[in-house]
Amino acid sequence: MEDHRHIFRWQIMREGKVQLDAGNRTVDCFIRDINLKGIQISVPERLPEQVGIKMNLQINFLDLDVEVAVQWEKQEDGQHVYGLSFQKIPDKDKNRIYEYVSLHFPQQLKKQWFGNS
């Protein structure tokens, strides 16, 4: 299947945590990739079926309060895998994502800018 995305996705493959706005319960998740427009995560349970899901995402020291929309969902190995687009994310948090990738995954930025060379 051809990928029609125009924004590079940084493959970070990191464990994280997600807290939904509806409660204080935090659920472990696995973050597969991220960019400035969205994130792909897997979680052990379904996310709420609503538009504009507010959540707190934690990846290592990166802590983001975002509002997301579910673009797609699939089940894989007993997990719910989601493609989420950021609906509301402050510019400062976009900068923090970029800094996080720059610090922990510089090879991803090199790949983005220079290809596989």
Tell me, what's the pLDDT at 22?
A: 65
pLDDT for 109 equals: 76
Q: What is the pTM of this model?
A: 0.85
Tell me the per-residue pLDDT of 8-58, one tens digit each, with 9 for 90 and over: 889 999 999 998 866 678 899 999 999 999 999 999 999 887 778 999 999
Nearest to 82 by CA among 66, 102, 106, 101: 66
- At 1, the pLDDT band (50, 70, 90 cuts) reads very low
Strand pairing category for 79-88 and 10-20: unpaired
Distances (CA, A) of 92 to 81, 96, 109: 27, 6, 19
Domains of the chain: 10-111 (2.40.10.220)
